[in-house]
Chains A and B, each alone.
Chain A
């Protein structure tokens, strides 16, 4: 099997950058699943995998928010890891991007959000040490040194999350050949699983929208789209 080390490195760099952007710097939403995964797909030459995995995970994690001191699941790691693995799996199989491949990636890597949460907790302890160091430096009159501690808080995010994302991309190269060996009914089952999971994710998103009358608004949206599709289908048949 041929491992594309450039793709693994690219995945690691992008995974690290968006991990920093997620909380430590700017927060302009480059780290949202829809954006982070689509860009990952673009970098690894597989936009469809990135886009459709990003869309599903955007919906799945729509309601998560970092409120006060609470730590939510790390939706960014889940998106970058899953899309990187899907893109490299597609490269390894050589058959291109398919819903079965997206489903398998999501089922295997969506749990990374919980791993990311644990890593975030560990990193908070590191930042607490930096804050204590900064206070001690300020007490000793070393103000520039104290201020510099703030920026040191970012590099572990880049390094740790970058490494995890790169590991997912690498895993994709090993999983690709295994996917090819799956029996046809299982592959068809996985292909069916994508729309099912996407529908579930959209429902979770409606629930996570925090709207006061979410079921009513979601029902209206679903009704309008179903009606439009039915009318369109009827028009085509007549």
Chain B
């Protein structure tokens, strides 16, 4: 049995959390976030394993393939620390922490992708883009505040949950009911995008069109509907954008 290091201090825990923000600094197709995870855990491992040989072994077990959502990875980082402390005290075998990571990274990645990437980000983006007519540049500030209020709170909370609960964090994450909240956010995103499409067509059409304002506004609204249908039929977004621009350019130039 190697020498047991002192328990993790608050300073080390904060240090690990801050280093976990660099999780994807060298994301690569082979190990994905492996280097980032080992980098985040290193201050804690250094403290838990004063013996160099044990430290090397501990670092190497976290340099294997690892990939999950970068925000919810905080839960796994916390959970790994929970297990590593027990391993250092000789209360469990190193296989437990490897199994813990392997079991959680897939489901948590799906949860994080669904909530953050496919719900919160589009919803915040659509809401704040829709507020540009009212707030101007402050809409971008509001975007950062709204998004990061949820993002940073959940990231810190998940880290603490992993740290205190270990494997039991799954139940706590399940209670947050993120998929249902995500579905509501996606509906908000769609409604805001639709509303903004109408406002842009009417308002900008009115400003740019002069005596042809009603024509341009109606044309933009029609373009919005047609482009939705085209994109739904897998026509590339870029083709639809250039097509619309070409039509509007031609109309503006020749009418």
Contact = CB atoms under 8 A, between A and B. Distances in A.
Interface of A: 23-30, 32, 34-35, 38-39, 41-42, 47, 50-52, 54-55, 58-60, 62-63, 65-69, 99, 103, 106-107, 110-111, 124, 127-128, 130-132, 134-135, 138-139, 141, 143, 146-147, 149-154, 185-186, 188-215, 217-226, 229
Contacts of B5: none
A191 B197 CA distance: 17
Contact of B28 (A42, A66, A127, A192): A127
B240 interface: yes
A147 B27 contact: no
Contact of B249 (A27, A60, A189, A205): A189
Contacts of B251: 189, 192
A interface, over-half SS:
helix
Given A203-B224, A229-B202, A67 B22 contact: no
Contacts of B205: 195
Interface residues of B, number: 99
B12 interface: no
Given A111-B238, A207-B232, 11 more contacts: A29-B147, A42-B137, A47-B137, A188-B253, A189-B253, A192-B252, A195-B248, A196-B219, A209-B122, A218-B228, A225-B199
Contacts of B207: 99
A26 B223 contact: no
Given A60-B241, A149-B35, A204 B248 contact: no
A116 to B, nearest CB: 14
Nearest to B200: A198
A59 B198 CA distance: 13
